[in-house]
Structures are given as structure tokens and as C-alpha cells.
Amino acid sequence: MKKAMHSLIILFLLISGNGFSQTTIDSVSLKNSFNYGKSVAVFGGSVSVISASDSAKILWKRCLGMKVTNFGVPGAGFSSLQGKSLQQQVNEAGIFDIYILWASTNDYTNHRAIGNYTDYTEFDNYDTTKLITQAGGINYCIKKIYQINPQAIIYFFTSGKAFVDRGGYDPFYPKGMNDYVEMQKKICRLHGIPFLDQFFLGGYNVYNEKLYYHDAIHMNVLGYKKLGKLQVSFLAFP
């Protein structure tokens, strides 16, 4: 209950004010977060690494003292078929305190198979043919991170909304982005990975898209600031 109250207070203060004074940070005991001062590796596609995303990561650094290293590559997805995939990115990672898998929109927009939550797990004897699916790629990344660092803390940021077509933002549209997000969350539940549902909690829709997005997929600085406040609340007390 105390942890939940901390998160609510943090989120309220972050949302209600434009400034982030040290007094405000200290007053909500952000330094008491077990994630304060941790080293963080971020993997993903362009949404995780474009320059505008720095406006979110600046908040991680300012509020939580985090040291952030970006591995994300534009065009990447979890599927081994999608760009310099997150699988390849994780292969190049070293030891960090926290590993964030920031899901892109690329698996959806490039029609990569969603797969099943059992893809590339002990349930199919780690079938490498399943690495072409989003699910197989996610499971690979999680397994590989624990091989690199058995004490790793892994967090998952789900894909956000994309306004490329109706399926990119309508959660009820058949075979839309939300199907990919639901699989992301299912795999996180399997492995006990805390996740931030950016598709729903981000608060983006067709009415405010022009305010927070600079194109159909990528947020602008204002959009990332909005998202960053949500991320800080999550990262402070997951």
C-alpha cells in the first residue's frame, strides 16, 4: 500500500506541474526507489531512440538519477526478420542493472507474425524457427538477458498507438496493434516481467494526435514529455 501511494503521489506531482524541482523530488522520496541511480539499457526501434525520446529519458535521469545507454535501432522489431532486431541488440549488451524492452510498432506495420506465448520457450524446446515471430523474439530477449546477467531487472514498455491505420489505435479492430500488445503482456506475465501498458495508459487518441505526434508513428518532444512522466512513475516504484 505504501509503495502504491508513493507511485500515485509521484504521478500526480509529475502531471500537475511543468517543473521538477529538487524539493519536489525529495518530498516524494524518489531517492527511496530501489531503482534510483541504476544503470539502464534500452532496446527497441525508432520510438525508443529518436532524439525526441530524450525528453522522456531526461526525466528518468533527473528524477531517478539513472544512467541510460541506448541500443535501439530505427526499423527494429522483436522478429528476427525485422531490421536490426531486438534479438541482435540484446546480443550486444553487457552488464546493466536494468534492461528495458521498449516495443516498437515495426512488427505490426511490417506484418510480422504475432506467434504464441510459448514460442522459443521450454514448452517447444526453444524452437529457433519461432524466432521470426514477435513472441519468439520477446522470449529470446528475456532468456538472453538472464544469460548475460542472472541478476538482471527487466521491464517492458508495450507498443504505443500508431495512427497509420485504424488497427494501429483501435483496440477492438481485428488483427490490430492491440493484438500485438496483448501478446507482449501475456509473455511478461509468463516470466513475471513488470510492464507499462503504453498503448492504453499513454493517453493518445485521434483528438490529440496532432498535439503529441509529429507523424503517424513517432511522438514529438511534447508527446515524449507526457509519456516520460508516466515512465518515471512506473520506474520509481514498479
CATH code assigned to 2-236:
3.40.50.1110
| Whether the predicted pLDDT of 10 surpasses 90 | no
Round to whole Å and give the CA distance between 137 and 22. 40
Mean pLDDT rounded to a whole number for the chain: 91
| pLDDT tens, residue by residue, 83-110 | 999 999 999 999 999 999 999 999 999 9
What's the distance, CA 41 to chain centroid? 11
Under a CB-based contact definition with an 8 Å cutoff, are residues 55 and 221 in contact? yes
Round to whole Å and give the CA distance between 43 and 24. 30
Round to whole Å and give the CA distance between 3 and 59. 20
- In a 3-state reduction of DSSP, which class is residue 74? coil
- Please enumerate in sequence order all residues whose Cβ is within 8 A of that of 187, keeping only pairs 6 or more positions apart, or say none: 117, 135, 138, 139, 142, 193
| Of 124, 146, 148, nearest in space to 136 by CA | 124
With a pLDDT cut of 90, the percent of the chain lying above it is 85
- In a 3-state reduction of DSSP, which class is residue 99? strand
> For position 5, what pLDDT does the model report?
52
Round to whole Å and give the CA distance between 133 and 120. 9
| Whether the predicted pLDDT of 50 surpasses 50 | yes
Round to whole Å and give the CA distance between 82 and 98. 24
Place of cell 516520460: 228
Q: Domain residue spans in the chain?
A: 2-236
> For position 30, what pLDDT does the model report?
82
Round to whole Å and give the CA distance between 6 and 128. 42
Cβ count within 10 A of residue 53: 24
| pLDDT tens, residue by residue, 143-156 | 999 999 999 999 99
Amino acid at 203: G
Residue 41's DSSP bridge partners are 69, 99
Residue 213 exposure: Cα atoms within 13 Å on the Cβ side: 19
Under a CB-based contact definition with an 8 Å cutoff, are residues 135 and 117 in contact? yes
Strand order in the sheet with 98-102: 67-70, 39-44, 98-102, 153-157, 195-196
- Of 27-36, 53-62, 189-198, the one with minimum mean pLDDT is 27-36
- Please enumerate in sequence order all residues whose Cβ is within 8 A of that of 87, keeping only pairs 6 or more positions apart, or say none: 78, 80, 131, 137, 140, 141, 144
Question: Are β-strands 39-44 and 195-196 bridged in parallel, bridged antiparallel, or unpaired?
Answer: unpaired
